[in-house]
């Protein structure tokens, strides 16, 4: 799964990186080195301008909440359980089927965290887990494949600007061999030349969309151990990305 990641780029950098037509970001988010579910995150989407739905879609930068709330949900707290969507079943799950067909997004990240179960044990006999930071070896932005949804809050008036809640989820797949010994799942990434095809809301063929997504090429990502400070969402800052002076685990 993908349950934590880092996102420190400024919105103006993302506008350039993703060739954004229109930024809907009113106030930029602070650099976040410990992004957790229910937090606000940057997302790249393609939608018609709100002022003219008949115009062609434009690429937008928006702020969404991590944890997808289906449009049919009665209680928005369901989003707390919808932080990841498995690629293998995304076309079957009611919560993800519709957004996969027409509401796909990119979630920019510096990298993400996963926890490796070591041979050490706690006093309760459970394995101690070592966090790892996994990121592009060349320092580029990760474009994680995501889905988004818009939930209408029935408790708010029609003229309330907060009546619509924009939320998102990260698509995951089986981890590549280089990373599978740390965790068996990883986010799906979208390569730059496929941004347009993935974001295009007029594309809906599941087979075509599935072919756009592949695990990161072997060797593109690197992983290194970091401090257990990242275990607590209260901790934040670039120091969370500092590597520990230990060797990464290797499969037996």
- Quickly tell me which residue has 């076309």 as its tokens: 91
Are 59 and 199 in contact, with CB atoms under 8 Å apart? yes
Per-residue pLDDT averaged across 231-250, rounded? Answer: 85
Per-residue pLDDT averaged across 236-247, rounded? Answer: 88
The whole-number pLDDT of residue 252 equals 44
Per-residue pLDDT averaged across 149-153, rounded? Answer: 95
Q: How high does pLDDT run on average in the chain? A: 90
Per-residue pLDDT averaged across 229-234, rounded? Answer: 96
Alpha-carbon distance of 188 to 231, in angstroms, equals: 23
For a pLDDT cut of 90, what percent of the chain falls above it?
70
Query: Angle CA(96)–CA(99)–CA(100) in degrees, nearest 5?
Result: 75
Alpha-carbon distance of 154 to 76, in angstroms, equals: 11
The whole-number pLDDT of residue 23 equals 96
Residues with catalytic function: 2, 114
Give the chain's domains with CATH numbers: 5-112+140-221 (3.90.1680.10)
Alpha-carbon distance of 80 to 166, in angstroms, equals: 14
Residue 167: which residues within 8 A CB-CB, separation 6 or more? 64, 65, 66, 67, 68, 69, 79, 82, 148, 149, 151
Q: How far is CA 55 from the centre of its chain?
A: 28
Helices (H), the chain: 11-17, 94-102, 177-180, 195-199, 206-211
Half-sphere exposure of 75 (CA within 13 A, CB side): 4
**SS3 state of residue 44:** strand
Q: Give the total residue count for the chain.
A: 252
Alpha-carbon distance of 15 to 22, in angstroms, equals: 8
Are 113 and 5 in contact, with CB atoms under 8 Å apart? yes
């Amino acid at each position: 799964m993908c349950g934590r990641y880092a996102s420190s780029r400024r919105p103006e950098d993302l506008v350039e990186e993703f060739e954004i037509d229109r930024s809907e970001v009113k106030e930029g988010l602070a650099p976040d080195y410990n992004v957790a579910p229910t937090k606000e995150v940057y997302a790249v989407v393609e939608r018609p301008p709100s002022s003219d739905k008949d115009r062609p879609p434009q690429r937008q930068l928006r702020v969404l909440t991590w944890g997808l709330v289906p449009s049919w949900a009665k209680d928005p707290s369901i989003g707390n359980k919808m932080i990841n969507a498995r690629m293998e079943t995304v076309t079957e799950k009611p919560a993800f089927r519709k957004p996969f067909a027409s509401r796909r997004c990119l979630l920019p990240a510096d990298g993400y965290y996963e926890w490796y179960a070591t041979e050490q044990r706690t006093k309760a006999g459970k394995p101690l887990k070592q966090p790892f930071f996994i990121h592009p070896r060349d320092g580029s932005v990760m474009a994680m494949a995501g889905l988004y949804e818009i939930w209408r809050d029935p408790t708010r008036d029609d003229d309330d600007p907060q009546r619509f809640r924009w939320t998102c989820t990260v698509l995951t797949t089986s981890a590549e061999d280089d990373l599978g010994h740390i965790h068996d799942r990883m986010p799906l990434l979208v390569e730059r030349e496929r941004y347009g095809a993935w974001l295009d809301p007029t594309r809906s063929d599941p087979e075509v969309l599935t072919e756009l997504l592949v695990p990161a090429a072997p060797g593109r990502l690197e992983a290194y151990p970091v401090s257990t400070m990242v275990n607590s969402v209260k901790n934040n800052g670039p120091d969370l990305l500092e590597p520990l002076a230990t060797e990464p685990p290797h499969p037996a």
